Amino acid sequence: MTDKTQPDSADAPIEQQLYAIRQKIQPRAVHGVFANWRIALVLLTQLLYYGLPWIKWDDRQAVLFDLAARKFYIFGLVFWPQDFVYLTGILILSALALFLFTAVAGRLWCGYACPQTVYTEIFMWVESWLEGDHVARKRLDKTPWNATKLRKRGAKHLVWFVIALWTGFTFVGYFTPIQTLVAEVMQFNLGPWESFWILFYAFATWGNAGFMREQVCTYMCPYARFQSVMFDSDTLTVTYDNSIGEPRGPRSKKTDYKAAGLGTCVDCNVCVQVCPTGIDIRNGLQYECIGCAACIDGCDQIMDKMGYPRGLIRYTTENVVKGKYPDSSILKHVLRPRTIIYTVLLALIGGAFVWSLATRVPLRVDVVRDRVALSKETDEGMIENVYRLQLINKDSQPHRYTITAHGIEGLQVVTAAPEVAAAPLQTVDIPVSLIADPVELKSRSIEVTFTIQATDDARIRDEVATKFFNR
């Protein structure tokens, strides 16, 4: 007799784990057009990153973010805290560019220029050099620890950490002059903050590019989660074309796949083996896909060997795959309202940003009133207000300035000298008195304007409004 108090095995709750243990990915090396683009982007980005701190400009480091002096040097430009609006402009331009590139061709940034992708690529080059191809690396992973494995893994991590340490050192070199940093290291006199950030950035590079790799893209990067919002049916993405690939299956090179009722996919799994995130692009677009196009290069190599036409996996759009229009007219559909709007906005804001930089006045003046007394009467019966002007010469050249004021009839400006000299990038404090006839003072408070003019350049001029108080 069956015990009805016990649940049937089919009705029993199934326990499902929410955490999957990571399966280590050892991607296969691949060659092709997109692999060459990745190599070129790796070399270009790292040449810029490692090289910029060593370039000199006007006897100083060309690119330096001097937080202690509160000055950002970018070649011939010097930015101060008051120039925060330019940082805002750069962020807006970067966001619009990201939106445009993503709307046109998906995750181009992730696949070719993201630091995580770039350093993972560099670390994998080192790994292939010291441990062999993907088959040898998988075999080494399964091998018990011995002298050979210890030697190979030790050499790999040593090279990895040297690269990571140099990366951290270069990063700090953007904030502390890199030649000063070299001297401090050579003299064992490196400061605590410099030491911390060099080691922290090195550790982050070593961990992210050496160990976490695709997990950073899959679980940590927010871009992978919201990228689909910027995609539409006309976005170019890495796509497997089911219409020509299915039904898939292995076959001899001599097999007439059309007569056998097969597609061009030979089910070799090369597209999976070369993928740095370990996905199967044949299952459709997935958020783990970083758009590196390694699967395109791998598939094209197999198609060439089989004598089949390329393009089973390619950059295309959802509408092309559905047959709404052919590949030949894809450019027309890439230029759609969304991308045109992004392009126009990017051009307008970029133009305004460049114009603002080109017409930027390298002078800033702040006015601070005397806090002791708002005004006082002189021996001659005139009314005097005392101010302190702070002049910031943002230029890399010295200048001399004159100070005038207007807003009250007969207003006199009294300074220690008729002209004020300021060295390059110097801040100068100048006490200034304004004297006015009480007859001309029509109210208790009157707005006046200081005009500071460079004597050697008519374009360098600043005006600052303040108040003149009557007794």
Q: What is the pLDDT of residue 337?
A: 87
Are 293 and 418 part of one and the same domain? no
Check whether residue 394 and residue 332 sit in a common domain: no
- Which of 329, 344, 360 finishes a domain? 360
How does pLDDT run across 424-455, given as a tens digit for each residue? Answer: 888 999 999 999 998 888 888 899 999 999 99
Backbone angles phi, psi at 101, to 5 degrees: -65, -35
Q: Is 235 exposed, middle or buried (0-12, 13-18, 19+ CB in 10 A)?
A: buried
Considering its fold, how many domains does the chain have in total? 2
Are residues 302 and 59 in contact, defined by beta-carbon separation less than 8 angstroms? no
Q: Where is the domain boundary, 360, 395, 415? A: 360
This model's pTM is above 0.85: no
Q: Are residues 192 and 209 in the same domain?
A: yes
Q: Is residue 198 situated within a structural domain?
A: yes
Give the three-state DSSP class for 469.
strand
pLDDT band at 79 (very low <50, low <70, confident <90, very high): confident
* 41 and 60 both lie in a single domain: yes
- Distance (Å, whole) CA 295 – CA 34: 10
The CATH number given to whatever domain includes residue 447 is 2.60.40.10
pLDDT computed for residue 5 by the predictor: 53
Could you tell me if 384 and 356 lie in one domain?
no
**Count of other CB atoms within 10 angstroms of residue 406:** 12
Mean pLDDT is lowest, of 19-23, 375-379, 433-437, for 19-23
Q: Residue 4 burial (CB < 10 Å; 0-12/13-18/19+)? A: exposed
**Residue closest to 83 by CA, chosen among 96, 97, 70, 69:** 70
Residues paired with 78 in a beta bridge: 73
**Which two three-digit tokens encode residue 65?**
């973010």
Instruction: Examine the domain organization and report whether 264 and 373 are in the same domain.
Output: no
Domain-located, residue 355:
yes
Question: Does residue 94 lie in a domain region?
Answer: yes
Note whether residue 14 is domain-resident.
Answer: no
Q: How far is CA 316 from the centre of its chain?
A: 26
Give pLDDT tens digits for 263-290: 999 999 999 999 999 999 999 888 889 9
451: β partners: 404, 463
In a domain, residue 1? The reply is no
Task: Identify the domain containing residue 336 by its residue range.
Answer: 19-360
Instruction: Name the residue with tokens 């200034």.
Output: 432
DSSP per-residue letters across 264-312: S-----HHHHT-TT---GGG---TT-----HHHHHHHHHHHHHTPPS-S
343 and 429 housed in the same domain: no
* Residue 194: inside a domain: yes
Instruction: Give the end of a domain, one of 360, 386, 406.
Output: 360
Judgement on whether residues 345 and 402 belong to the same structural domain of the protein: no
The answer to whether 365 and 444 have CB atoms below 8 angstroms apart is no
Band of residue 379 on the pLDDT scale cut at 50, 70, 90? confident
10 falls within a domain: no
- Cβ atoms of 168 and 178 closer than 8 Å: no
Same domain? For 327 and 395 the reply is no
125 pLDDT higher than 50: yes
**Residue 350 half-sphere exposure, CB side, CA atoms within 13 Å?**
11
Q: What percent of the chain has pLDDT over 70?
A: 95
Relative to beta strand 63-66, strand 71-74 is antiparallel
376 pLDDT above the threshold of 70 = yes
Residue type, 249: G
Q: Are residues 230 and 273 in the same domain?
A: yes
Check pLDDT > 50 for residue 1.
Answer: no
Judgement on whether residues 286 and 376 belong to the same structural domain of the protein:
no
- pLDDT of 281 reads 93
Sign of CA dihedral 219, 222, 226, 231: negative
Q: Is position 5 within any domain?
A: no
- Judgement on whether residues 230 and 116 belong to the same structural domain of the protein: yes
